[in-house]
Amino acid sequence: MTSPVRAALVGFGYAGRTFHAPLIAACPDLRLQAVVSRQAEAVSALWPDARVLSTFAEAVADPAIDLIVLATPNDLHAAQAEAALAAGKAVVVDKPFTLTAAEARRLTALADERGLLLSVFHNRRWDADFLTLRRVIAEDRLGPVVRLESSFNRWRPEVRDRWREGDGAGAGVWYDLGPHLIDQALCLFGRPLGVTCDLAVLRPGGRATDYAHAVLRYADKRVILHADMVTPAADARFAVHGLRASWLKDGLDVQEDQLKSGLTPGVAGWGVDSRPGVLVDGATGAREAVAGPPGDYPAYYSAVARALRDGAPNPVPAHEAVAVMEVLEAGLLSARRRAEVLL
């Protein structure tokens, strides 16, 4: 039997602890070999079979590590990914890929040059609602889509003391939630013609962007992406309108909450959406609940393992993450200029 791919998780903050560690551990073809963290006791309590390393350099130099998973602050992604690739390691980077499109392109070229897997954790491709939406569009149940509104809102009126809400590079909601929204839009419709974006700090005492509103212009449709931290009624998720019908969806995918509660990926009820979207027929006004497949975050790491062991496709190739960074960067420029930025 082929041995599992040995992974080192770098970072044990929210992303590492909640998403990456349990998803890696749940994949039979991966082994959580090591965790780089200053929280040795916390790591050992949850993952006693994983070695705790004190520095990133130890993980990169360890010949027993095949895959480096970066769940570190956004401004560290580019340098750490470059060092891991230079050491001959496969790399998974939590979103956002990097801080700039130029960094993303450079890393992609390095991975290609060395023949190494470089993948970005755009896990929201495996949300239950997004899987359902892709199916609804593929089955042409809406007719030609002319407008999509995708919102990812939260109610966090108090500014918290953490790097994501600070004034450092890569902080703020556009870097945090924007990549999810952008990646889903590109998966559905490809590269837009232009981006218009408004970014703001709306909370008293806020230091990082907590409001982001972007319009992606396509020749035959408009895609509206919105994320903020100041919406008490944060249920609205998707409103997708075609020339024949609309699809409306409230509520977020349940997998993040399931992971936070300690559920093991793959247990009964995993990823099942209790609030399915509703199809609204334009001609009759008839409303139909549309149940779709359950969410499947474990599919990402299963695909990473197959890519490394069997040469199967990378589930999120680096060049696709470069495209996300280009739109994200265009949004930053648009907000500064207060004008559309062409792509």
**Residue-level pLDDT at 298:** 98
Q: In this structure, is residue 20 part of a structural domain?
A: yes
Q: Are residues 91 and 151 in the same domain?
A: no
Q: In this structure, is residue 304 part of a structural domain?
A: no
Q: In this structure, is residue 276 part of a structural domain?
A: yes
Which two three-digit tokens encode residue 187?
């998966």
Q: Give the mean pLDDT of the chain.
A: 97
Q: What percent of the chain has pLDDT over 90?
A: 98
Amino acid, res. 132: T
Q: Are residues 88 and 201 in the same domain?
A: no
State the total domains in the chain. 2
Please give the Cα distance from 199 to 210 (Å, whole number).
8
In this structure, are residues 30 and 22 in contact, taking their beta carbons and an 8 Å threshold? no
Q: In this structure, is residue 321 part of a structural domain?
A: no
Question: Is pTM beyond 0.95 here?
Answer: yes
**Residue-level pLDDT at 105:** 98
**Residue-level pLDDT at 109:** 98
Q: 77-106 pLDDT, tens per residue?
A: 999 999 999 999 999 999 999 999 999 999
Residue 1 has pLDDT above 70, yes or no: no
Domain hosting residue 172, numbered range: 124-296+327-342
Q: Are residues 132 and 102 in the same domain?
A: no
Residue 142 has pLDDT above 70, yes or no: yes
**Residue-level pLDDT at 2:** 80
The residue from 105, 121, 137 where one domain ends is 121
Taking CA atoms, 98 is separated from 85, 120, 214, 313, in Å, by 15, 10, 20, 22
Q: Are residues 110 and 133 in the same domain?
A: no
**Residue-level pLDDT at 220:** 98
Q: What is the CATH number of the domain that holds 238?
A: 3.30.360.10
